Amino acid sequence: MGTTRMTATRNGAAGLLYAGRQGKPHVKDPQGVINQRVLGSTGVNVDPKYAHQQMSVVWRQHDTKKRNARELYRSTWSWPNEVLDPRNPHDVDKALMMGAEVAKRMWPGYQTAIYAQADGKGHKLHLHMETNAINPVTGRALRAEQTSQKQLAKIADEVELENGLEPLPKLRQAWEIKPHAQVAKVAAGKYSWREDLQQRIQAGLADKRAVDWQTLKPVLAEHGVDVHVRRNKKTGAINGLSYKLNFGDHQRPVRAIRLGEMYQKESVDNGLKQNAAELTAEQLKNVQFGGIASISELTPRIKHQHATTESEHADVDEKPAIHDIDAGGLRQAREAIEQQQQRQQQQEAYREAQRLDRLKQQKQRAAEQERDRQDRQRRNREADGPSLG
């Protein structure tokens, strides 16, 4: 019943250094048994003591630094103390043996250095499985299921069952994900761009003007959020969503899966259908075919709905309705979309200018090299002197 996790890094040396560095544990063991960071190590196609040197040879051969390629896939596998006790050498050996078996099945032919640790606050036994992203023989990079967190968890469950352990039940993803740093900032009264993004998305999804995927984008844009819908090129089906703030210094896209289930395709789609169900057929037709600018006809009904709710909860919330919009609000929404399109056009123009500049520099270098070659040939002919007839 262990928990697995996988990430990738372009700095393989740092990953190996953290996992295999010897020394005292981060947190002192109250029982005084765990007195070192690394409790044991093993490797598949690599010696864990010299993993950095052996993997570096492969990285240099394939110019991973020059290509800015991924060098290492870092996987962790941890267990509660009642399942595997880090103070029991037999359990440590068992964990290392299972880690090696997972590496052979998950990444056959690749180099994996495995280190057992229990240096955290809870002193839970866990493995660091550091896998070279480049095959030392074929030079092929890890891909597809070999980089899948789901596949890693599946193989780990199989190995646990074979060794008498009961895998954890499959848990449903959290409805809303809020990392510790985000919660701490909000609790301290500080600004969190992630919290701001989530609240703005929620306001946009609750906006009754968003009744389908076509109207969702301008509505979210009005609330300060750009949404990117990824679709299957062949079928057109939605594969995923990404959100980002369209203002300020934190315009970094975040995938919906990292924000929680409520921000993903199924939940958003259900919310849009619910919004559409609350409108009359004529109003829905105006929204779907007239575009977001035709939404003004919805305002009377939305105002009435909000007034009813407001009268019931007058003592709780006296804020104006978020849907009480006017022509100015619609104009701002259209302006936000136009500004985004202008930014995209400027970025494309900048990239094209850079491409042309690089091409010009390449031509100049080629012309200089040709002149140098001709000069060398001329000097060689002059050094040889006139030929004898």
For 304-353, how does the pLDDT look when each residue is reduced to its tens digit (9 = 90+)? 444 444 444 444 343 333 344 444 555 666 666 677 777 777 777 887 88
The total of other beta-carbon atoms located within 10 Å of residue 100's CB is 18
Residue 328 · residue 336 · CB < 8 Å? no
Residue 254 · residue 265 · CB < 8 Å? no
What integer pLDDT is reported at residue 385 of this predicted model? 65
What integer pLDDT is reported at residue 257 of this predicted model? 87
CA-CA distance, 351 to 364, in Å (whole number)? 20
DSSP state of 141: B
Residue 278 · residue 288 · CB < 8 Å? no
Cα 213 from chain centre: 23
Instruction: Copy the structure tokens of residue 320.
Output: 């104006």
Cα separations in angstroms, 98 against 56, 132, 205: 26, 19, 45
Instruction: Copy the structure tokens of residue 265.
Output: 């395709």
CA-CA distance, 272 to 257, in Å (whole number)? 18
Q: Which residues of the chain have pLDDT under 70?
A: 1, 168-174, 280-337, 385-389
CB neighbour class for 143 (10 Å; exposed up to 12, middle 13-18, buried from 19):
exposed
Residue 261 · residue 172 · CB < 8 Å? yes
What integer pLDDT is reported at residue 120 of this predicted model? 77
Instruction: Copy the structure tokens of residue 124.
Output: 């839970």
DSSP state of 122: T
Query: 127: helix, coil or strand?
Result: strand
Residue 75 · residue 152 · CB < 8 Å? yes
Sign of the dihedral through C-alpha 49, 53, 59, 61: negative
The total of other beta-carbon atoms located within 10 Å of residue 164's CB is 7
Tell me the pTM.
Answer: 0.50
What integer pLDDT is reported at residue 58 of this predicted model? 95
Half-sphere exposure of 321 toward its Cβ, with a 13 Å CA cutoff?
20
What integer pLDDT is reported at residue 239 of this predicted model? 85
What integer pLDDT is reported at residue 156 of this predicted model? 93
What integer pLDDT is reported at residue 308 of this predicted model? 45
Query: 37: helix, coil or strand?
Result: coil
What integer pLDDT is reported at residue 29 of this predicted model? 73
Contacts of 116 (CB under 8 A, 6+ apart): 38, 39, 40, 41, 86, 92, 95, 96, 99, 125, 126, 127
DSSP state of 11: -
Residue 127 · residue 86 · CB < 8 Å? no
Provide φ and ψ at 40, rounded to 5°: 175, 165
